[in-house]
Amino acid sequence: MELTPDDVRDVLRVLDSSGLDELHLELADLSLTVRREGAAEWTAEQQVLRAPVLESSSAPVAAGTAPVQTQVGEGLVAVRPPLLGTFYRAPQPGSPPFVDVGDRVDEDTVVGVVETMKMMTPVHAGVRGTVVEFRTGNGEFAEADAVLLVVEPSVGRGGGPAQ
């Protein structure tokens, strides 16, 4: 199924004495390429081809993936995640949300956080205006092009919408 480091070392011993520089193995469940790198060093590129043996009773429940709306209406501005991840509307579970529908925001207002690989990245509004809609709920996963929330830019004295 997989060649252990010991197996690979056995292969290396054979290769070392053979003077060959590269060996390519194709097995039913596995492919392996071992290459000589310089005088005495070797690399291995291993590909486990075996398909996972999934318990039949445990197939994933087909998630009803709602069509993601990535566009917003004319004159409105979409706030998208800085990188894909799980969107949180509040700094801690149970605390009040950063912003809500109807709140005024400016470019630097933190409107949420996105958790990617256990790291938190703040989401800034990036625009001056009023929050009119949340498209991504608290704790929901957001792709990089998802719309988290929608802001209606304010016009006038502030110099108009940023972006």
By CB under 8 A, name the binding residues for other proteins: 1-2, 4-5, 8-9, 12, 34, 37, 41-55, 57-60, 63, 83-86, 92, 94-95, 116-119, 121, 139, 141
* Cα–Cα distance for residue pair 100/104, rounded to 1 Å: 9
The DSSP H or E segment spanning 151 is: strand 149-153
Provide the 3-class DSSP secondary structure of residue 104.
strand
Is the Cβ of residue 14 or residue 49 nearer to other proteins in the bound state? 49
The secondary structure of residue 37, as a DSSP letter, is E
Is the Cβ of residue 17 or residue 92 nearer to other proteins in the bound state? 92
Question: What is the smallest separation between the CB atom of 107 and other proteins, expressed in angstroms?
Answer: 20
Question: What is the smallest separation between the CB atom of 28 and other proteins, expressed in angstroms?
Answer: 13
Question: What is the smallest separation between the CB atom of 156 and other proteins, expressed in angstroms?
Answer: 36
Tell me the residue type at 34: V
Per the CB < 8 A criterion, the answer to whether 30 and 3 are in contact is yes
